[in-house]
């Protein structure tokens, strides 16, 4: 969101590089507070039971009516695994035992980092407020053409390829809505 | 930082749970915009060459004069590996080839997620603006009692234990400044 006013004192902000900084930030013209904007963390999981995978059909925008793994913005006061479990409880009314972090997707154009865990579905499930439908899919039935987000599709494919093996964290970078690339070497100045 | 004014229209905000939300947020009393606050991402790496590890002595608060792996807040427009490489260039004037994500530390009390990569130190190094000194340490020389942050110490210990092997991502949760715990199962309702 574009910052126009200082959230600390209510005065106008101006774009400028603070002392010792190379980037322009929103700086308050009255009290001088610097308002940093940083990427946000989305945490989710792939709940699995007997080889089937739990997905949710979205009841909210963006991507109303499309399918997604349970995932959402991480909250203050929780760790990433707790966040993934909480989102699953909210969206699918399902308790899960979170496993290991297996996928990390930078969604640059959205300013988001998506982190996905493996998970065991423990009990029942039902649509939460943000879901139209929640369903266990056999792998060949997964609706790839009706998936809400490419970060989700990437994680789901890697989860299936791993087939229970620990192959570390699969990384992906989605630069804009149309392009995706393998996570690079992270050399500076690229 | 405590939000008092709406960054969109400059009016006062009030704490209340938006419709369909279970948590109190800062909501503008005039335009209704909800100002979410979420954890921030810190990205860093452990630059290694010939079995030696590059650390920086901090020239800024917090923890002025203590040692740290190169790390800092992720910026919009970069992926997590690029962020770790950029921080290393800024703090240690060093180019690195980023390897794999090997440690994830939730620092709950600070509202931060710290992510650490392995890295190869490629060339020279020197103190950046935020460092008093940059030095390559043999493992037995690492100044454990003078490390700036426990997330760093955790990552460094796991890096040394791994000894080049890929053991996936080591996770840790630091709840407050005095307590640390192994990353749990992420069961909801804990």
The continuous run of DSSP H or E covering A155 comes out as: helix A150-162
Same domain, yes or no, for B50 and B65?
yes
Q: How many domains does chain B have?
A: 2
Mean of the per-residue pLDDT values for chain A? 93
Express each pLDDT in A119-172 by its tens digit. Answer: 999 999 999 999 999 999 999 999 999 999 999 999 999 999 999 999 999 999
Express each pLDDT in A25-56 by its tens digit. Answer: 999 999 999 999 999 999 999 999 999 999 99
Nearest to A79 among B36, B78, B173 (CB): B173
Same domain, yes or no, for A101 and A23?
no
In a domain, A110, yes or no: yes
| A153 SS3 class | helix
Asked whether the beta carbons of residue B129 and residue A168 sit closer than 8 angstroms, the reply is no
In a domain, A16, yes or no: yes
pLDDT score recorded for residue A2: 86
Express each pLDDT in B10-35 by its tens digit. Answer: 999 999 999 888 899 999 999 999 99
Same domain, yes or no, for B74 and B8?
no
Domain that holds residue B28: 1-37
| B35 SS3 class | strand
Q: Which residue has the tokens 């009314």?
A: A93
Same domain, yes or no, for A83 and A27?
no
pLDDT score recorded for residue A179: 67
In a domain, B6, yes or no: yes
Same domain, yes or no, for A53 and A12?
no
Instruction: Give contacts of A 26-85 with B, CB under 8 A.
Output: 33, 35-41, 73-82, 84-85
Give dist(CA B67, CA B134) in Å, integer.
Answer: 9
Q: Which residues of A touch B86 (CB under 8 A)?
A: 188
Same domain, yes or no, for A83 and A111?
yes
Interface test mutation site (partner A, options B35, B39, B94, max chain A beta carbons within 10 A) = B39
DSSP codes, A101-144: EEEEEEEGGGTEEEEEEEEEE-S-----TTEEEEEEE-GGG--G
Express each pLDDT in B38-86 by its tens digit. Answer: 999 999 999 999 999 999 999 999 999 999 999 999 999 999 999 999 9
Instruction: Give contacts of A 98-157 with B, CB under 8 A.
Output: 98, 100-101, 104, 106, 108, 111, 113, 117, 119, 129
**Could you tell me the CATH number of the domain that includes residue A106?**
3.90.79.10
Angle (CA) B85-B90-B94 rounded to 5° is 60
């Amino acid at each position: 969101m574009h910052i126009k006013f200082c959230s600390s004192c209510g005065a106008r902000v101006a774009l400028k590089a603070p002392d010792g900084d190379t980037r322009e930030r929103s700086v308050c013209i009255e009290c001088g507070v610097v308002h940093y904007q940083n990427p946000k963390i989305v945490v989710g999981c792939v709940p699995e039971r007997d080889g089937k995978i739990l997905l949710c059909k979205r009841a909210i925008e963006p991507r109303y009516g499309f399918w997604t793994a349970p995932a959402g913005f991480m909250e203050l006061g929780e760790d990433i695994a707790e966040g993934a479990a909480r989102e699953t409880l909210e969206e699918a009314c399902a308790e899960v035992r979170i496993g290991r972090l297996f996928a990390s997707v930078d969604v640059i154009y959205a300013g988001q980092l998506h982190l996905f865990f493996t998970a065991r579905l423990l009990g029942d499930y039902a649509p939460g407020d943000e879901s139209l439908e929640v369903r266990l899919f056999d792998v060949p039935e997964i609706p790839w053409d009706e998936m809400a987000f490419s970060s989700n599709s990437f994680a789901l494919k890697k989860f299936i390829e791993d087939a229970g093996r620990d192959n570390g964290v699969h990384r992906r970078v989605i630069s804009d809505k149309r392009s995706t690339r393998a996570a690079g070497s992270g050399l500076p100045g690229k």
